[in-house]
Amino acid sequence: MSTSETQAITLDALRQLIADFTTALEAQAATMANADNPNRNTGPREPPFERTESVFSRSKCAEEDRVTFATGTLTNDALSWWNAYAQPNGIEQANRITWTELKELLTNKYCPRTEVKKMEDEFYNLVVKGNDLKTYIRRFQELAVLCPNMVPNAEKLVEVFINGLPRSIEGNVTASKPQTFAKH
């Protein structure tokens, strides 16, 4: 791409690109919120287990009853996994593990660290290949939705997005000092 072609990608065009990205993220969040899932959390995204711990706190659930309560709410694959875990020693023995141990078991089963690490590495090393901004934006969006806790705040999300842009574009975007994807 020549300098004159780089200049053709104006600041307004980049702002529109960022606005389109924001719209796509919001659409993805809306799609997830409206998914045909009766157990979905339609409120703001919470860190894993925070909602359950909030219920424990409000109900003053005793520590020794937390695992029994939590596993009693499992469905589908998670319920099958728990039954397979509990079966060898019996449900009473399985329910004696601590809440912290259950959280670790569930995290290891459903969010293996190796897979999360691969996605984080891809996310932080993602760059535009050639002039294919659309593919970059699509993959950036997918990773941001899959791992919402990878980036601590909107400013860091913008920083990671800008870092993946070609240098010729990155300078223009950085000069505009975007604070969030919503600002355009």
- For residue 65, is it within any domain? yes
User: Are 68 and 95 spatial neighbours (Cβ–Cβ below 8 Å)?
Assistant: yes
Domain end (from 69, 94, 110): 110
User: Are 127 and 170 spatial neighbours (Cβ–Cβ below 8 Å)?
Assistant: no
**Mean pLDDT value of segment 84-97:** 94
Which residue range(s) make up the domain with 92? 50-110
Packing angle of the helix pair 133-146, 113-125 (nearest 10 deg): 150
121 and 139: one domain?
A: yes
Lowest mean pLDDT among 41-50, 55-64, 108-117, 159-168: 41-50
- For residue 40, is it within any domain? no
Angle at 23 between CA 17 and CA 24, to 5 degrees: 90
Q: Which tens digits make up the pLDDT trace of 127-158?
A: 999 888 889 988 888 888 776 677 778 888 88
Q: Per-residue confidence at 4, pLDDT binned at 50, 70, 90?
A: very low
The separation between the first and the last C-alpha atoms of the chain, rounded to the nearest angstrom, is 25
pTM (2 d.p.):
0.45
**Mean pLDDT value of segment 6-21:** 54
Determine the pLDDT at residue 97: 95
Q: Per-residue confidence at 14, pLDDT binned at 50, 70, 90?
A: low
